[in-house]
Amino acid sequence: MNRKILLAFIVSTVLFQFSNAQQNELWNGKKCAVVLTYDDAIDVDLDNAIPALDSVGLKGTFYIIGQSPVVAKRMNEWRIAAQRGHELGNHTLTHPCDATLPGRSWLTPEDDLSRFSVKRAQNEIRITSTLLQAIDGKAERSFAYPCGDRTIGGADFYKPLEKEFTGARGVTPGLQHSSEVDLNDIRCYMINGEGADYMTGLVKQALESHTLLVFLFHGVGGGHNINVSLEAHSKLLHFLKAHESEIWIAPMVDMAKYIRAKQAEKK
């Protein structure tokens, strides 16, 4: 066997072994990982989503807008949710998004991220973390970018905050192995009207590929123009519970810490 053929054989063997190791990756001893996230701190989180999760013993991450009236009016209920193991994640103080991007005509000047200074964006995120710690007593949590936006005038406002969160969820869809996850832009699937078959189909894909699957919900049974039906949401939760021996289901704060540790092992 000449050198070129030998080298090609060695390279192909290494690549095959690496690919095979990824395909058989375990997540906390299970075949795949799922994170259930809910955005915006709305009434149906407390009225529909959390009771549904509690009924099957699953934990979710609720990304809280600090100035949401539902936070002020129902603070003790959020505190109880955190005590039961649900994460209160940071979704900024006012949920600003970049109004210069297409499809953003619904934004007011006050909510236009492009009008913010980087310092203001960072201050409002830190204020929200302080508020959330006052509610749940916890110093660790994850972050979610409103609308997936993370820059102001080309400057990444989140980068200086990286060490203040275990990870940050974006809005780009995708299933990933732990080595592929960018903890500053974790991929997810936003659900808007899709049924239970679609959602359980994503879980089956994650099981087959041994990957991380993150769901992004807004309204559950109403309460938001981005919505999933109560029935479809319930069917997903019961499917996850029925396959809990194969699926690690955890809040984002814990999932991101696990991924960070796994990535550090490979360095």
Judge contact between 104 and 98, C-beta under 8 A: yes
Q: What whole-number distance in Å separates Cα of residue 158 and Cα of residue 150?
A: 6
- pLDDT on residue 62: 99
- pLDDT on residue 267: 76
Judge contact between 90 and 142, C-beta under 8 A: yes
- pLDDT on residue 17: 44
Burial 118-153 (b: 16+ CB within 10 A, else e): bebbbebbebbbebbeebbeeeebbbbbbbbbbbbe
Instruction: List average pLDDT for each run of 10 residues in the chain, which is 267 residues long.
Output: 50 44 83 98 98 98 98 98 98 98 94 97 98 98 98 96 98 98 98 98 98 98 97 98 98 98 91
- pLDDT on residue 18: 44
Which residue type sits at 28?
N
- pLDDT on residue 94: 97
